[in-house]
Every structure is written in structure tokens, then in C-alpha cells.
Chains A and B, each alone.
Chain A
Amino acid sequence: NAGVTQTPKFQVLKTGQSMTLQCAQDMNHNSMYWYRQDPGMGLRLIYYSASEGTTDKGEVPNGYNVSRLNKREFSLRLESAAPSQTSVYFCASQDSPTGANVLTFGAGSRLTVL
């Protein structure tokens, strides 16, 4: 089925460890997003990518890096994980960032940092 695929679904890290969350979409969308979801805080934008090779910081980018090497894939890297980064991470995509285009979300990656 067409959509947004995220891996891994679950991950436990120790403080200071690094890891990369992978996201791929097969809808030929241009724009891709990384959000984090925390209880009582809704979804907060970490990074946005309008196209291959371009990225913009969102509301909460500190501690994260991203990479958009091609149109399909948008990865999120934690270089040195901290307990404050315990969260559920969602990748999303859409065809065009302007107008009322709908975001298509992945199923999420639940990260726990001990």
C-alpha cells in the first residue's frame, strides 16, 4: 500500500547513544516533515524538507540532524540521545507545502532514552 513507512517502530537507547530514524514515502511527494509527539503537547515540528537536499529547522530542532538525500527518504538522527528525547516520532509527507494539502503520516517510531 502507498504511504509513509517509518523504521524502527520501537527503540530503547541509553543516554549518549546515537541512532537514526528512517522514513520513506512512495507517493512522489515533495515535502517531508519530522514531528515529535509528547503527552499534552500535541505535535511539534522538528525539521522540514521542501525537496531533495533542502531542510529547515522547525520548532524543536536542538539535538537532531536530518538528511534528505533523495525524494523518497528523510532520516532523523540523534547524535547523543538524552532522556528529554524520549517521545513518539512521526514522519509525514505532502505533495506541495502551500495551500490546504493534507499531510500523510507514518505509523510512528517510539523512542525511549534511559
Chain B
Amino acid sequence: AQSVTQLGSHVSVSEGALVLLRCNYSSSVPPYLFWYVQYPNQGLQLLLKYTSAATLVKGINGFEAEFKKSETSFHLTKPSAHMSDAAEYFCAVKGSGTYKYIFGTGTRLKVLA
């Protein structure tokens, strides 16, 4: 069964610092991988997705993620944090032949001035 692990339920970074949010998945077949962001009192919005076309995926708002099959990881990064990046971030995995998405437990990002 597929699973997703997000290390760190809360991450704090200073404005301008590197953002690194970790996601590891468990799957026997390379799946589809997603990062969603949730701003306060809103639904989830897609940041980026991996579909096997390229291992480095660029998303919105300067975020990117790298798929590493050997490490079963799909970590999310942004070179320079902005106050507006404060939100909760969810990693999700999905198999090609299923409708089921498996979401991680989320990482709340706090950006310090």
C-alpha cells in the first residue's frame, strides 16, 4: 500500500532563507506525486506535480521539487522564503490506475521577519 511521510509538522524559516519541506513516499511503482498548499481558511491548491516527464519539477511561486527514485523522496524547496509563503503544505501520492490520493499529514511553514 502506498504511504506518504512528511517529516516535521512545523517548520520555521527566516524571510529570505531557504525553504526545504521533506516528503518520502512508499511505493513499488513510481507514482504520481503532488505538492499542494493550503492558505488559512482556504482549500488546497496545486503547487506542482511529478508525472515522470522530468525529475526536477517547477511549480508556482518559485517552488520546485526533485523526484529521487533511489531515495523515494520528493522534497519541496524554494531558494528564498517570503512572508506570503506561510501556509500548510501537503505532499500526496497517487497510482496510475486508481482514483485514490494518499496525503501526508502536512507541514505548517512559518516565515519569520
A-side residues, CB < 8 A to B, are 4, 31, 40-45, 48, 50, 56, 58, 90, 92, 97-100, 102-103, 105-108
Contacts and interface: CB of A to CB of B under 8 A. Distances in A.
Contact of A107 (B41, B51, B90, B103): B41
B106 A103 contact: no
Interface of B: 9, 32, 34, 36, 41-46, 49-51, 90, 94, 96-101, 103-106
Contact of B43 (A41, A44, A48, A105): A105
Contacts of A43: 44, 90, 101, 103
Given A40-B105, A100-B94, A90 B43 contact: yes
B43 A99 contact: no
Nearest to B91: A42
Contact of A50 (B42, B97, B99, B104): B99
